[in-house]
């Protein structure tokens, strides 16, 4: 009786196993286009094939989805693209001016007859420029699919975010309103001690070392005068060599003089802040960041700095339909290429005493969505269209 019971349980498991194989084969045939044949003679072979099929059933859809789902709508004949929302990127350049007193600043007037030298270390920040740029963020609510089984709208170019760039064209638009110019730092890395003589370095007091350093500065100046007057012994005959020699003497004089008057270094820093306007974008005195003369650019929650505000104002350049008009309007035919007709806003960045930026900017969220007729993309003609990937607007359209 016990043996019969075990045989029955084994048969039940085999029937369940075969049902699972059939279900997996159905999935593979339906979704992936192939199936695993089941042999009636060998349970071992069936087990191996079932394991393989099961792995494929889970692995292949994941691979296919990772490669295609961002661009295809579920069929092999359509490409899905997004229209963007407009994001504003504000690039702020700030300079940090660092003043460092020289080792001999208290002897500057005595030996070099220079007054008002740097006597105290300090940092002083300033905002040197403010620039704006636009970038597109995919609007998942405005995703559309183009069928590729006819017409000439088959050469569709998307950017890395899935936003449409062009149709039947390879040209790309430049969405940058202003490109900030990079400024060079004026940080001085010259060590003045490398130009000091042995006698200067072995001086027993700071006053004596300052005196010897001042004499070395005067010697360098006399050498420069002799070169420019042509009175130097063994004068170089090559003009380029003379220029190089004068350049080196200037470098030595500057390094040694800074030991008396101090050094000023300027370092430039860049920061980027983002603003995502809404469809109802009017904003007044919103804090973008904070600024301190001593600490520089600060986060907007850091109350140690003065607030830098921004205002956004919808200029109403695109008339949006009222809810009543929308309800009465006929449904838009979804046959063609959708694009944005952006509105414009006025952005101002300022403090109580200073205005940094005032600019009008096109923004997708403030406009409407329109459609290019599918008739423009028939087989007998080629229409080339270029889009602004930051707003979804058409920047160029040509028909061949």
Burial class (CB in 10 A: 0-12, 13-18, 19+), 167: buried
Residues 98 and 120: beta-carbon distance below 8 Å: no
DSSP helix/strand/coil, 335? coil
* pLDDT tens digits for range 1-34: 545 555 666 666 666 655 555 555 544 444 444 4
**Cα-to-chain-centroid distance, residue 197:** 50
What pLDDT sits at residue 69? Answer: 31
- β-sheet bridge partners, residue 368: 341
pLDDT cut 90: percent of the chain above it: 52
**Cα-to-chain-centroid distance, residue 43:** 59
Question: How far apart, in whole angstroms, are the C-alpha atoms of residue 241 and residue 249?
Answer: 12
Q: Sign of torsion, CA 278 280 283 286?
A: negative
**Cα-to-chain-centroid distance, residue 374:** 35
What pLDDT sits at residue 56? Answer: 43
Cβ count near 81 (within 10 Å): 24
Could you give the angle at the alpha carbon of 389 between the alpha carbons of 388 and 390, nearest 5°?
90
Greater model confidence, 134 or 236: 134
| The two structure tokens encoding residue 389 | 């990937």
| Residues 6 or more apart whose Cβ sits within 8 Å of residue 122 | 98, 99
| Residues 6 or more apart whose Cβ sits within 8 Å of residue 43 | 14
Average pLDDT of span 310-335: 77
* pLDDT tens digits for range 324-382: 766 666 666 667 899 999 999 999 999 999 999 999 999 999 999 999 888 887 777 78
Could you give the angle at the alpha carbon of 248 between the alpha carbons of 243 and 251, nearest 5°?
125
Rg from Cα positions in the chain: 37
**Residue 398 DSSP label:** E
Residues 98 and 268: beta-carbon distance below 8 Å: no
* pLDDT tens digits for range 27-60: 444 444 444 444 444 454 555 444 444 444 444 3
Residues 72 and 79: beta-carbon distance below 8 Å: yes
pTM: 0.69
| The two structure tokens encoding residue 125 | 């920040």
Question: How far apart, in whole angstroms, are the C-alpha atoms of residue 314 and residue 277?
Answer: 10
pLDDT cut 70: percent of the chain above it: 71
Question: How far apart, in whole angstroms, are the C-alpha atoms of residue 168 and residue 153?
Answer: 7
Q: Which region among 174-188, 228-242, 268-282, 289-303 has the lowest average model confidence (pLDDT)?
A: 174-188
């Amino acid at each position: 009786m016990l043996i019969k019971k075990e045989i029955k349980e084994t048969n039940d498991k085999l029937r369940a196993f075969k049902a699972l194989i059939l279900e997996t084969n159905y999935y593979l045939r339906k979704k992936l286009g192939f199936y695993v044949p089941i042999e009636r003679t060998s349970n071992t072979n069936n087990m191996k094939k079932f394991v393989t099929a099961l792995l494929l059933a889970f692995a292949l859809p994941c691979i296919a989805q990772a490669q295609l789902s961002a661009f295809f709508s579920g069929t092999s004949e359509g490409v899905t693209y997004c229209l963007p929302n407009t994001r504003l990127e504000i690039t702020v350049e700030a300079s940090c001016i660092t003043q460092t007193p020289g080792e001999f600043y208290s002897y500057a007037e005595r030996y070099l007859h220079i007054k008002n030298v740097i006597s105290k270390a300090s940092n002083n920040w300033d905002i040197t420029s403010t620039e704006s740029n636009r970038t597109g963020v995919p609007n998942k609510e405005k995703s559309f699919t183009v069928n590729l089984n006819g017409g000439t709208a088959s050469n569709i170019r998307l950017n890395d975010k899935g936003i449409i760039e062009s149709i039947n064209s390879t040209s790309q638009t430049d969405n940058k309103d202003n490109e900030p110019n990079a400024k060079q730092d004026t940080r001085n890395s010259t060590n003045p001690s490398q130009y000091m003589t042995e006698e200067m370095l072995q001086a027993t007091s700071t006053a004596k070392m300052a005196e010897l350093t001042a004499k070395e500065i005067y010697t360098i100046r006399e050498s420069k005068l002799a070169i420019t007057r042509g009175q130097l012994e063994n004068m170089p005959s090559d003009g380029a060599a003379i220029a190089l020699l004068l350049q080196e003497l200037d470098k030595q004089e500057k390094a040694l003089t800074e030991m008396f008057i101090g050094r000023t270094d300027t370092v430039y820093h860049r920061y980027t802040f983002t603003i995502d306007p809404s469809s109802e974008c009017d904003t007044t005195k919103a804090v973008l960041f904070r600024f301190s003369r001593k600490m520089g650019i600060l986060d907007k929650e850091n109350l140690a700095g003065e607030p830098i505000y921004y205002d956004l104002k919808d200029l109403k350049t695109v008339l949006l339909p009222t809810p009543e008009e929308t309800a009465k309007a006929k449904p838009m035919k979804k046959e063609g290429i959708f694009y944005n007709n952006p509105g414009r806003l006025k952005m101002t960045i300022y403090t109580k005493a200073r205005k940094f930026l005032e600019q009008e900017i096109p923004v997708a969220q403030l406009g409407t969505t329109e459609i290019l007729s599918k008739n423009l993309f028939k087989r007998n003609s080629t229409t080339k269209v270029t889009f602004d990937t930051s707003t979804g607007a058409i920047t160029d359209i040509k028909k061949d």
